[in-house]
Amino acid sequence: MEAVKNRSIVKKIFFIYIPILIIAFALLSNTFIVKPNEYAVIKQFGKIVKVIEEDGLKIKVPLVQSVSKLPKHVLFYDVPATEINTFDKKRILVDYYTLWKITDPVQMLETLKTINAAEARLSDIMYSSVRNELGKLEYGEIINPADNNRGSIDLVVQDNINAILKSNLNGIEIVDIQMKRIDLPQSNEQSVYKRMISERASKAQEYLSQGDAEKTKIMANADREVAELIAKTNSQAKEIVAEGEKEAAKIYNDSYGQDVEFFKLYTTLNSYKTSIDGETVLMVPINSPYLKYFMGQ
């Protein structure tokens, strides 16, 4: 009796619980969760049949369909540093990073397959675009963006890359691209430094020469102006002296006409004053008219 009861229990487990477990396992193995920051791509016999963008619990067809997931959020990619030649033939090492995202999962999987392949494709396109754009600029324009008349190189590179990705139907897009640093390759760093020092020294000597030339010009102009001013002053002084002498002669003539004897006395006394001192020896006749006033006559 006990054996019959056990067989009944085994049959019940086999025919009721086992199918339930199988069905539950099948359901669980064919359900999946889509997160808010990812795409779920449904493939059927290797062909993409559906892309799920809404998050939540989803179901696929057992044994027929498979699910692959791709990130919906913005991705960061650090582009390997690369050497390029500037327009003025200087070799520099540039290092970029980029932010990118998947815009069309179907195109991305069909053309690029994987995230790693997509980043490799970005690296190739970016190297070509950066080399072309920076190759149009001189070294000084690259390290000093204010000297660059072409606008932001990063934006130009971004637009170029996005145009290529769009034309190739890659299903990805550059959101932002930035240059992290610019270095000189170690192979020519010292030679570039020496050339820069030489150029700066040459420029400094040019400024010194220009300064000396300007100094000489200023001094020559100053000397000329001084000479002209002195000549003009001397001319004015001569004119004043001549006017004074003329006025004095007029006064002498007027005085002579008013009192001849007094004028003779005045001029003779002035002559004594200027020609006779304590050491003067005069050898003239005692009756000379010149000594008339001196002798008290």
Cα–Cα distance measured from residue 141 to residue 133, given in angstroms and rounded to the nearest whole number:
12
Cα–Cα distance measured from residue 178 to residue 158, given in angstroms and rounded to the nearest whole number:
9
Answer yes or no: are the C-beta atoms of 122 and 79 closer than 8 Å. yes
User: 283-287: long-range contacts at Cβ-Cβ below 8 A with a sequence spacing of 24 or more?
Assistant: none
76 to 73, 101, 156, 176: CA distances (angstroms): 10, 9, 19, 10
Convert the pLDDT of each residue in 175-229 to its tens digit: 999 888 877 666 655 666 677 788 888 888 888 888 888 888 898 888 888 888 8
Choose among 160, 76, 176, 157: nearest CA to 118: 76
- Structure confidence at residue 162 as a pLDDT band (50, 70, 90): very high
